[in-house]
Amino acid sequence: MQIFVQIVLVLAVILISLALMRGGVNARHMAIRRIFLVVFAFVAALSVIFPEILSAVAHFFGIGRGADLVLYGFIVAFLVSSATTFQRFRQMESTTTKLARRIALDEADRPWERDAQEDDAAAR
């Protein structure tokens, strides 16, 4: 049974990472994140109020203690968080690069405009 839990956890990491990394910040993406947050809060509250349920669930899956099950859950959550943070930073870096390029082009010296202004000034 323990190998089953390991396979499920690995698949959960892969599937959740793919789901959260797929798109940008759109309504569906935000809805998925909010649903996970609500489920996490509900499970966390239940595990604090009824720790014996967590231990029973852990024993059902062949895990020794409820604390180990929580640890596995935190590992999955950390990996998902790391993956989404990496994607968010990559997107911000791309946006910053585009913005820097646009500013550089806007503020670049344009000799053809300067020559036209000098010609206009000389004509007056």
Q: In this structure, are residues 51 and 58 in contact, taking their beta carbons and an 8 Å threshold?
A: no
- Burial class of residue 2 in the structure, from the number of CB atoms within 10 Å of its CB (0-12 exposed, 13-18 middle, 19+ buried): exposed
Nearest to 13 by CA among 71, 80, 61: 80
Question: Could you read off the pLDDT of 50-94 as tens digits, one per residue?
Answer: 889 889 999 998 888 888 888 888 888 888 778 778 888 888 999
Nearest to 74 by CA among 40, 45, 114: 40
Report residue 92 as tokens. 């911000």
Site of tokens 């935190």 = 74
DSSP 61: T
What does the pLDDT read at residue 56?
A: 92
Position 15 pLDDT exceeds 80: no
What does the pLDDT read at residue 13?
A: 66
Question: Could you read off the pLDDT of 101-124 as tens digits, one per residue?
Answer: 999 999 888 777 776 677 677 776
What does the pLDDT read at residue 98?
A: 97
How high does pLDDT run on average in the chain?
A: 80
Annotate 51-105 with DSSP letters as a single string: HHHHHHHHHHTT-S-HHHHHHHHHHHHHHHHHHHHHHHHHHHHHHHHHHHHHHHH
Report residue 102 as tokens. 């646009």
**Domain residues of the chain, as ranges?**
2-123
Give residues with Cβ within 8 angstroms of 58, minimum separation 6: 64, 65, 66, 68, 69
